[in-house]
Amino acid sequence: MTRHGTLKTALSAAALAAAAFLSASLTASAQTPAQPSAERVRGGMFDASDPPAIARFMEKTGYRVTLGTDVRGDPVISGRIRQSDYVIQFYECENGTFCNSIQFLSQRPAPPTLTLEQTNAFNARWRYVRASIVEGQVKLQMDVNLDAGVTADNFEDTLDIWKQLVASYESDILGLK
């Protein structure tokens, strides 16, 4: 056999071995279903399509919450942080389910001494929330896109950010100690 023929035979054998390995790998992965996200990621993935799961997760992480519905039939989670009541409203829902985003909202009567300048300074200081004064009420709002899902770690961090910003809202906007 010539050197060219030996090289051709060796390459053919290598190609057959690679094809056999690839075929075995594909067959094995086809027989073993992919692990669900809850097993791949600590605590699973969250999106706005499962409000009861979000409420359960919040309870597991120390929040006392109540799951209900609004007048349109969309889910609402209500709770309290420090001295402020809040709700988590679900948006872009289809018949009260399959929602894409949520909004955290806390609202109270505006203190008589609260100025628009204070509110604007608060908004300039904090990245994730906005405060507004509407008809004598001061609102704190934080929008969260959950359309493609987030990890439990990410959602827990979002809850922690909300808690910290409610504390700042209470001290900087409401004047509470």
Per-residue pLDDT reduced to its tens digit, 114-173: 999 999 999 999 999 999 999 999 999 999 999 889 999 999 999 999 999 999 999 999
Res. 63: pLDDT tops 70:
yes
pLDDT at position 94: 81
Please indicate, yes or no, if residue 71 is contained in any of the structural domains: yes
Strands 101-109 and 84-91: antiparallel
27 & 49 share domain? no
Kindly state the average pLDDT of the residues 49-70.
Answer: 93
> Do 76 and 147 fall within a single domain?
yes
Of the ranges 41-50, 59-68, 167-176, which one carries the lowest mean pLDDT score?
A: 41-50
Q: Is residue 162 packed enough to be buried (19+ CB in 10 Å), middle (13-18) or exposed (0-12)?
A: buried
How many domains in the chain? Answer: 2
Whether residues 69 and 10 share a domain: the answer is no
* pLDDT higher than 60, residue 16: no
11 and 51 housed in the same domain: no
Q: Is the same domain home to 65 and 108?
A: yes
Within 8 A by CB and 6+ apart from 80, the residues are 64, 86
Domain extent for 83:
44-173
What whole-number distance in Å separates Cα of residue 177 and Cα of residue 173?
A: 11
| 92 inside domain | yes
pLDDT at res. 95: 78
Q: Report yes or no: 87 and 76 within 8 Å, Cβ to Cβ.
A: yes
The span from the CA of 135 to the CA of 173, in Å, is 16
Domain CATH code at residue 99: 3.30.1460.10
The whole-angstrom separation of Cα 20 and Cα 88 is 53
Look at residues 117, 129, 116, 136 and name the one whose alpha carbon lies nearest to residue 168. Answer: 129
170, 40, 150: which is closest to 100 by C-alpha?
150
Q: Is residue 39 part of a domain?
A: no
In this structure, are 62 and 105 located in the same domain?
yes
pLDDT in tens, 75-104: 999 999 999 999 999 998 887 778 899 999
What's residue 3's pLDDT?
A: 52
Tell me what pLDDT residue 4 has: 52
The answer to whether residues 16 and 53 belong to one domain is: no
